[in-house]
Amino acid sequence: MDETPRYRIQAVAEMTGVPAATLRAWERRYGLPRPGRSESAYRLYSDRDVAEVRRLLVLQNQGLAPSEAARQVLNESVEPPSEALQGAPHVEYAQTAVERLLQATMAFDEQRLRREIQGALYFGSPASVYDTIFSPVLVEIGRLWVRGECEIAAEHLASRAIGEALAHLVGLLSRAVSGPSVLLACIDEEQHDLPLFGVALHIIEGGWRPIVLGQRNPPSSIARASEALKPAAIGLSMTLPPKSPDVAGLFRAYADASSPRPWFVGGANLETVRPFVEANGGRIITGNASAFRHALSRIQLGANAS
């Protein structure tokens, strides 16, 4: 877990849902969190500080008093970092978190759902939590809905709550990244934009700065955004085959809109569009959100080598 001081107190308050005044009070009373100081004496918090605050919240939600929760977090922090504080969440933690999120969703318990979302962020890096907790939850809810075992309203509730948390997190983390920008957008008529935030979290870890446009972006929108923002690369997402009667023409237009920047298409049902993407110089990205990060890394290495 990175202990480099980087976040101002208001950013930590937004990331954790704990007011700045409460963070200062906890620091005075319990010695937690333990921020560093900038040259101007502002508090600066590390990723470990943020994780410890989230852990404290989880323990309080389980019934511990703030003083007891802080004592436990401090005791945990003097031990070697557990798998829960590194990289990907331990499989047992992830499975438990998925089950708790599903239970809250099926019970239509919005407050519990949002608490579980915040608690899940403790279990690993944001990108790994998306891969092992949030994405599996959304996939399972979709399966339950298809089988008629989940109300569409429950699916909407979970999608909105997780989407809001991811969008907020991406916005906060993006501020600390100074690398090249990457434009992320859904293709025309595509409404499922949550995968974009998973990709965004991965490329932030790779040092890139995501710009997420979200749902329903025709080629004309990509062209305008590309011209105005001048990203280093463009990533397009789709979950269903395009409804356009001229799919070849559609992806020719996306190629023109993206030129001269490298562009990628990821998501589902990719084989239906692969010939049209690759014929126009685009690249198909298969696999989970991390695959896009790896593709960008290869481009970056190639640019450095030249």
Domain ranges of the chain: 9-81, 85-172, 177-305
Architecture of domain 85-172: Orthogonal Bundle (1.10)
Rounded distance, CA 151 to CA 156, Å? 9
Inter-residue contact 71 to 30 (CB < 8 Å): yes
Q: Which two tokens stand for residue 11?
A: 């950013």
pTM: 0.72
Model pLDDT for residues 173-232, shown as the tens digit of each residue: 888 788 899 999 999 999 999 999 999 999 998 889 999 999 999 999 999 999 999 999
Task: Say which residues have a Cβ less than 8 Å from residue 147's Cβ, sequence separation at least 6.
Answer: none
- Res. 90 pLDDT band, cuts 50 70 90: low
pLDDT at 13 over 80: yes
Fold entry, domain 9-81: Multidrug-efflux Transporter Regulator; Chain: A; Domain 2 (1.10.1660)
Fold entry, domain 177-305: Rossmann fold (3.40.50)
pLDDT at 89: 53
For 102, list phi and psi in degrees, rounded to 5.
-65, -40
